[in-house]
Amino acid sequence: MSEGDLLHVVTADRITDQRRLAGRFVIWGSVAVLGLTALLKSLQEAGTISLPWATWQPVLYAYVLFGVCLCWGQVILKGEQGKRLVFVLPAALFTVAMVIFPLIFGLTIAFTDWNLASLSGRKFNGLDNIRQMWGDPFYWNAMTNMVWYVLAIAVEYAIAFGLALLLNAEIRARKFFRVAFLLPLMLSPVAVSWMIGKSMMELRFGPVANFARWLGWDSPSFFGSAGVARTSIMVMDAWTFIPFMMIMILAGLQAIPKELHEAARVDGASAWQNFWEVTFPLMLPVSITAILIRVIFKLKLADIIINVTSGGPGGATDSVTSFIFREYRDRSNVGYGTLLAMVYLVIIVIAMTILMKLADRWMRPRY
Amino acid sequence: MKVGLYNMVTGNMSRRRMLQGATSLGAISALGGLTGGLLPGAAQAESHMDVRAAILKIPGVGNGSPTDADWQKVGEMTLAATKANVAEGEFAGVELTFLGLNNQNLHNFLFRGFLKPWEAYTGAKINWIDLAQADYNPRLQQAIATGTVDFDIIEMGAPFEGDTAGRGLLDEMPDWVKAQIEMDDYVDYLKAPVGTWDGKTYRITVDGDCHTFAYRTDYFGEGSISGMAEAPKTWAEVQAVSKAVKGQTDPLTGGDAYGFLDPLKGWGGFGFYFLEDRATAYAKHPDNPAWLFDPENMKPYVNNPAFVQAIQDVMDTMPDLPPDQINADPGTTAFQQFLAGTGSMICWWGDVGSNARTSDSSVVGDVVGFSINPGADKVYNNVTGAWEELSEPNYAPNMAYLGWGIYVTNRVSGDEKKRKAAWSAAAHLGGKDISLWTAAYPSGFQPYRNSNFNYDEWEAAGYDRAFVEDYLGSNADSYNHPNAAIEPRIPGIFQYYSVAEDELAKGFAGQYGSAQETADAIAAAWEKITDQIGRDSQLALYRASLGM
């Protein structure tokens, strides 16, 4: 224990060898119970032995017991230092149970041939799912669409920045506009799909379609051809999420000290120079954060597509998530669907890491 | 009866007409009682008629939607069949779990009411699992796949028989149940092999389903814009009408006139039924029950000339469809187009007929007619591999989805008392008399017995006979058609439909070179699914579902 740690120790525990032994016994005893329960249940599942356990609940109870014993053991073994650990351990154990274990379980499913309708159940099939994915035109089509959807964030960012600047300026009814502009974010994407996509943009009676007709567009079909349909989806999604970026940028703008702008003005900077040389660089950290979070949201885009176009026409609006949804829900193809989701997760993690590294470099102030 | 249909046939009824109906019913009841007394030999039949007439008075046509108290009354009045087979209190101590739907607050809600008097009489107790339609399929498949079937009785559609009966998860129906529910009364297409696997019967039917052809009567007749005296009887005529009316004005709405409405966008697998509407006429040969897969090797028929012709027909008619049809799913074609006055012909389930007069957005109530799905001038023979030209059209109504049934799972098989209780409960719900009530009042179920089409009973109860005859008649004609195209009850059937929708969408968007290429892509995807689920087992189950 370092000197610094000792300064914070309230009660100095005397940890005897006997106590240490008891602590280890509590921890390793619970590990043994957990291991034994898991082993017995596995053997029962494999049909080797017969047990009255209908579900995996006994293993769950054993895990809870292990968690309690692990915490208790820390206190016995390490005294006050152990009590500190107890503040963190339950959260860590909960994360293991709710994130790490399902992830490992998901990975084991991803490498199996598991169609819920198949009489033979789950079968390990090595890399077959990856091979299938490699040759699956629907998946790669969805992936290409995702590139377009993500690129659209650049435009969304520009609009959000513009709106934030507007709301940061001394305009009338500023508070009203701030709330009004936030409204789309409060709507469920499913509601947006029906109210906007399937009603307002409907070809025959939709007011947006009628307006487009009045402007001279003969047959304003917003979801009829590939390019227009993809753009329409982008617009609807942007309409929902621009307020999110806007509010983040607005918060950043309000945090910039007024003195900086005043000093720039005193130095003779024009309005543009004031924005480009002062505001924009100072806003980079907030902007990058807003864009990163928006990218994460965008990569999960599915609800609007599922409701409005079902991925059509001919897959033009399909996102990876909406494709996985069809593969999983409509076709009960659990193994392949899980693999697609896992690969997508890996791609997202890699892409986000690269993006964050780049962002880190960009965010260094230029002055 | 579907809720919309009930609203339609009761909503337009005058008070006078309702009184007429009530009087007739009263007369029938009185007569029944009288003749029953005078003619002891016919007493049972007469009392049976009494019950039928009496339950139709609960709550009475035009008296608003039935409530739980009404369902319980109906359940009580139709208990005679149960009492004949079960002693009072015979199932005391038995607990059963029933899994079903909660759509529109019907289905399980009705079953609860119907079974309350049954529970009181037999002493059994039922626990309920209510599911929304969207949760039903995943819940059932996960229960099956993970070996966690936790229900004794299940309300289930026939397409899932492959997933359940095919895996041995169901209990075979005892003979006394067959007698109690009078299975001979079922419409033809719901008789075996539907409800059976390997010759064993598992299903108590409580519903029927099929697609019928709905058309606008004002598009046909002398001086009509189609130039045809009558509604089309074949798909070739349908195509001709679609071409002929393009560019003309709709006689009802004054908007652009259109012909047949094909949904070009998928609908979670259900969209494939609409290609089948066209395809069955070409693909379902009267001599061969198989029309979707080869019963020798499970090779899909979906890329044979018959299906290619159907896909080609859709592609040919695309220029004549309303704009943006590429983005119209079956729900759009029925509710936003046909009922709203766009287009003149559609194939759909009963909802189109039932909504035609009552839905606020429907404008076609007075100009809608019904018939069985159109036929074709030629039919493809999968055995000879050649088209057969016909002097009379080949009709093959599409029995899309086959309706709901009640099944008992094998959880009760080891306990004779529990087993009898489960089957008794299911038989009560699938009884002959109770079916008349569910056909006539909002229940979520359609008629499914020949006795349900006795229009005198409907008229006596106060229904509009002309409408009932036209609309329900098209259902009856489809149900009993000798060449009806019955849906294969194999595991994962909706997986096949779902992937077909994706490929069709690509075909309709012009991403494949031809109808044949589109059909080949579907066939290739179907082959993959068959291999994944297991070709041998699929083949065996397919043949079993065809009764081969």
Average pLDDT, chain B: 87
Tokens representing residue B520 in the block: 């080949």
Section B97-108 average pLDDT:
85
Interface test with B, best of A145, A204, A317 (most B CBs within 10 A): A204
CB contact under 8 A, B533 and A223: no
Local structure of residue A277 (DSSP, 8 states): I
Please list, residue by residue across B410-430, b when 16 or more beta carbons sit within 10 angstroms of its beta carbon and e when fewer do: bbbeeeeebbbbbbbbbbbbb
Please state the length of chain B. Answer: 548
CB within 8 Å: B163 and A117 = yes
Q: Name B129's bridge partners.
A: B99
Which of B145, B166, B268 shows the shortest C-beta gap to A330? Answer: B268
Same domain, B219 and B196: no
At position B112, the amino acid (one-letter code) is R
- Chain A closest-CA separation from residue B404 CA (Å): 20
Q: What is the DSSP string of A127-146?
A: THHHHHHHT-HHHHHHHHHH
Question: Would you say residue B358 has pLDDT above 50?
Answer: yes
Q: Give the model confidence (pLDDT) of B420-433 as tens digits.
A: 999 999 999 999 99
A116 contact B CB<8A = yes
> Is the domain of B187 the same as that of B233?
no
* Strands, E assignment, B352-397: 368-371, 376-381, 386-394
Report the candidate in B373, B372, B337, B382 with the shortest Cα–Cα distance to residue B355: B337
CATH number at residue B129: 3.40.190.10
The answer to whether residues B488 and B388 belong to one domain is yes
According to DSSP, residue B270 is labeled T
Structural contact between residues A339 and A138, judged by C-beta atoms closer than 8 angstroms:
no
> Does the structure show a pLDDT above 90 at B213?
yes
Distances (CA, A) of B400 to A103, A157, B208, B440, B494: 40, 48, 10, 22, 12
Q: What is the mean pLDDT of each run of 10 residues along chain A (367 residues)?
A: 61 82 95 95 88 89 95 91 91 92 91 86 89 94 95 96 91 86 89 90 88 89 91 95 94 91 91 91 90 92 92 91 89 92 92 87 64
In B246-318, which residue ranges form alpha helices assigned H by DSSP?
A: 272-283, 305-317
Residues B238 and B363 in one domain: yes
> Both B317 and B438 in a single domain?
no
pLDDT digits (tens, 9 = 90+) for B477-505: 999 899 999 888 888 888 999 999 999 99
Could you give the 3-state DSSP secondary structure of residue B70?
Answer: helix
Look at residues A109, A108, A107, A115 and name the one whose alpha carbon lies nearest to residue A332. Answer: A115
pLDDT in tens, B295-324: 999 999 999 999 999 999 999 999 999 988
CB spacing of B142 vs A116 below 8 angstroms? yes
Contacts of B177 (CB under 8 A, 6+ apart): B204, B423, B424, B426, B427
Question: What average pLDDT score do residues B127-133 get?
Answer: 87
Tell me the shortest Cα–Cα distance from A323 to chain B, in angstroms.
Answer: 10
Considering only CB atoms, A118 lies closest to which of B268, B269, B532, namely B532
**What is the distance in angstroms between the Cα of B451 and the nearest Cα belonging to chain A?**
36
- Identify which of A120, A313, A330 has the shortest CB distance to residue B327: A313
Q: Is residue B101 part of a domain?
A: yes
Residue B9 has pLDDT above 70, yes or no: no
| Residue B394 DSSP SS3 | strand
> Residue A66: what are its φ and ψ, rounded to 5°?
-60, -40
Mutate to test the interface with A, among B144, B169, B326 (most CBs of A within 10 A): B326
Interchain proximity B508–A203, CB inside 8 Å: no
Is the CB of residue A114 less than 8 Å from the CB of residue A123? yes
In angstroms, rounded to a whole number, what is the distance separating the alpha carbons of residues A13 and A11? 6
Give the gap in angstroms from C-alpha A233 to the nearest C-alpha of chain B.
Answer: 13
Do both B171 and B195 map to the same domain?
yes
- Taking the C-alpha atoms of residue B257 and residue B244, their distance in angstroms, rounded to an integer, is 10
Asked whether the beta carbons of residue A116 and residue B144 sit closer than 8 angstroms, the reply is yes
Picking from A114, A306, A327, A331 by the largest number of B CB atoms within 10 A of its own CB, the best residue to mutate is A331
Nearest to A115 among B324, B510, B533 (CB): B533
pLDDT(B48) > 70: no
**Residue B157, φ and ψ in degrees, nearest 5:** -80, 150
Cβ-based neighbours of B319, under 8 Å, separated by 6 or more: B246
Distance between CA atoms of B398 and B274, rounded to whole angstroms? 9
For residue A38, what pLDDT is reported?
A: 93
Does residue B269 belong to the interface with chain A, where contact is any CB pair within 8 Å?
yes
B391 touches chain A (CB under 8 A): no
Structure tokens at B304: 């044979």
Spatial separation of the C-alpha atoms in residues B161 and B66, rounded to whole Å:
31
Eight-state DSSP code of residue B214: E
Tell me whether residues A309 and B327 touch, CB distance under 8 A. yes
Closest CB to B324: pick one of A221, A226, A331.
Answer: A221
Give tens-digit pLDDT for B264-274: 998 888 899 99
Looking only at the bridges linking them, the beta strands covering B376-381 and B386-394 are antiparallel
Element (H, E) at A24: helix A17-46
> From B341, which residue of chain A is nearest by alpha-carbon distance?
A204
3-state secondary structure A143-194: HHHHHHHHHHHHHHHHHHHHHHHHHHCCCCCHHHHHHHHHHHHHCCHHHHHH
The answer to whether B509 contacts chain A (CB < 8 Å) is yes
Question: Which residues on chain A are in Cβ contact (under 8 Å) with B265?
Answer: 309-310, 312-313
pLDDT value for B134: 65
The pLDDT assigned to B18 comes to 40
Enumerate the residues of chain B whose CB falls inside 8 A of the CB of residue A314: 505-506, 508-511
Residues B511, A315: C-beta atoms closer than 8 Å: yes
Whether the pLDDT of residue B3 is over 60: the answer is no
| Top-level class of domain A132-362 | mainly alpha
Element (H, E) at B408: strand B404-408
Answer whether B266 sits within 8 Å of A312, measured CB to CB. Answer: yes
Q: Choose among B142, B494, B534: nearest Cβ to A120.
A: B534
Task: Give the domain extent around B247.
Answer: 212-399+484-545
On whether the CB atoms of residues A190 and A307 are closer than 8 A, the answer is yes
Residue B177 lies in a domain: yes
Nearest to B78, CA basis, from B103, B113, B104, B106: B113
| Residue to substitute from A136, A138, A208, A332, interface B, most B β-carbons within 10 A | A332
Q: How far apart are the first and last CA of chain B?
A: 33
User: What's the pLDDT at B47?
Assistant: 62
Tell me the shortest Cα–Cα distance from A281 to chain B, in angstroms: 45
Chain B residues in contact with A136 (beta carbon < 8 A): none
Q: Determine contact: B326 vs chain A, CB below 8 A.
A: yes
Per 3-state DSSP, chain A is made up of helix, strand and coil in percentages (nearest 5) of 75, 0, 25
β B125-131/B95-101 pair status: parallel
Comparing CB atoms, the residue among B267, B322, B533 nearest residue A117 is: B533
> Residue B176 corresponds to which tokens in the numbers above?
């006394």
What total of structural domains would you count in chain B?
3
Determine the distance in angstroms separating the CA of B528 from the nearest CA of chain A, rounded to an integer: 11
- Residues B249 and B381 placed together within one structural domain of the fold: yes
Is B272 within the bounds of a domain? Answer: yes
- Cβ distance of A224 and B142 shorter than 8 Å: no
Nearest residue of chain B to residue A311 (CA atoms) = B502
Same domain, B317 and B413: no
Q: Identify whether residues B229 and B357 lie together within a single domain.
A: yes
Which amino acid is present at A245? M
Question: Residue A280 corresponds to which tokens in the numbers above?
Answer: 């924009």
DSSP A65-112: HHHHHHHHHHHHHHTHHHHHHHHHHHHHHHHIIIIIHHHHHHHHHHTE
B145 touches A at CB < 8 Å: yes
Inspect the interface and report whether the beta carbons of B502 and A309 lie closer than 8 Å.
Answer: no
pLDDT, averaged across chain A: 90
Are residue B329 and residue B420 in the same domain, yes or no? no
Nearest chain B Cα distance for residue A329, angstroms: 7
Name the residue among B489, B548, B538 with its Cα closest to residue B198: B548
B342 to A223: CB separation less than 8 angstroms, yes or no: no
Number of inter-chain CB pairs under 8 A, A vs B: 108
Pinpoint the residues of chain A covered by CATH 1.10.3720.10. 132-362
- Residue (of B449, B457, B434) closest to B80 by Cα position: B434
Task: Determine what percent of chain B is predicted with pLDDT higher than 70.
Answer: 89
Contact B111, B66 (CB under 8 A): no
CA distance B510 to chain A (A): 8
Do the chains contact at B502 and A226, CB–CB below 8 Å? no
B259 & B230 share domain: yes
DSSP designation for B352:
H
Contact A234, A159 (CB under 8 A): no
Is B89 among the domain residues? yes
**Rounded to an integer, what is the distance from CA A324 to the centroid of its chain?**
16
Which residue of A lies nearest to B512 if distances are taken between CA atoms? A314
pLDDT at B24: 42
User: What is the reported pLDDT for B541?
Assistant: 85
Tell me the chain A residues in contact with residue B148 when contact means C-beta distances shorter than 8 Å: 55
**Rounded-to-integer distance, Cα B181 and Cα B85, Å:** 12
Q: Are residues B71 and B49 in the same domain?
A: no
Which residues of chain B does A121 touch, with a Cβ-Cβ cutoff of 8 Å? 145
In chain A, the residue whose alpha carbon lies closest to the alpha carbon of B165 is A119
How far is Cα B417 from Cα B94, in angstroms, rounded to an integer?
8
Q: Residues 325..344 of A with a Cβ closer than 8 Å to B: which? A: 326, 329-334
Nearest to B165 by CA among B520, B382, B409: B409
Angle of the A226-255 helix axis to the A280-299 helix axis, nearest 10:
140
Chain A: closest CA distance from residue B10 (Å): 31
Q: What is the pLDDT of residue B336?
A: 87
Distance from CA of B272 to the nearest CA of A (A): 13
pTM to 2 decimal places: 0.83
Q: Render pLDDT for B22-38 as a digit per residue (tens, 0 to 9).
A: 444 444 343 333 333 33
